[in-house]
Amino acid sequence: MYLCFPSPPPLQLRKPVVEKMRRDRINSSIEQLKLLLEKEFQRHQPNSKLEKADILEMTVDYLRQQSQQTKTLGPVHKDTQVDFTEGYSRCLQEAFQFMSRHKVHAETQAKLVNHFQRNQLSLPEAVHSTSGLKHSSSKNIHALWRPWN
């Protein structure tokens, strides 16, 4: 005599497995937080065994503290003036190398050098006043001198 038991639906079988995987991910992430912020935890509670809730609370506190420091100190930026000057110099250097390799007419070279020198004095002030990058309109892109034109 055989007894037939109805097999549980597939969803009921998967649910405990999915739940275990979810808990494992949570525990793994909490353990990673504990390792990443170990020094911070030792500073606050040196001899205590941390529970998961403690780790999460201290992580939130630490992130808030870091966020506040970022707001008060402001984002760390390199000096835009220095960046601009370095980029402009590099551009000039490459333009002169191009002209010497491709034997650009002396008159064109003189005009270009003159143009670069005039603009070098006025552009850094514009960079400082915008405090960021300005997007060029499509009209300005077509007005640029290009060696292949």
CA distances from 138 to 76, 115, 119, 126, 132 (A): 32, 21, 20, 19, 19
Which pLDDT score, from 0 to 100, does residue 142 have? Answer: 44
Domain boundaries of the chain, sorted by first residue: 10-73, 90-143
**What are 19-67's pLDDT values in tens digits?**
999 999 999 999 999 888 888 777 777 777 888 998 899 889 988 988 8
Assign domain 10-73 to a CATH class.
few secondary structures
> What pLDDT score does 36 carry?
86
Residue 87, pLDDT > 90, answer no
Read off the DSSP letter of residue 102. T
Residue 83, token pair as written in the block: 């960046």
Of all residues in the chain, what percent carry a pLDDT higher than 70?
69
Phi then psi for 37, rounded to 5 degrees? -110, 25
| CA–CA dist 44, 37 (Å, integer) | 11
Tens-digit pLDDT profile for residues 97-110: 888 788 878 888 88
Give the model's pLDDT for residue 21. 94
Q: What is the C-alpha end-to-end distance of the chain, expressed in Å?
A: 94
Helices (H), 2-147: 10-36, 38-44, 52-73, 80-101, 106-130, 138-143
Check pLDDT > 70 for residue 89: yes
The one-character DSSP state at 149 is -
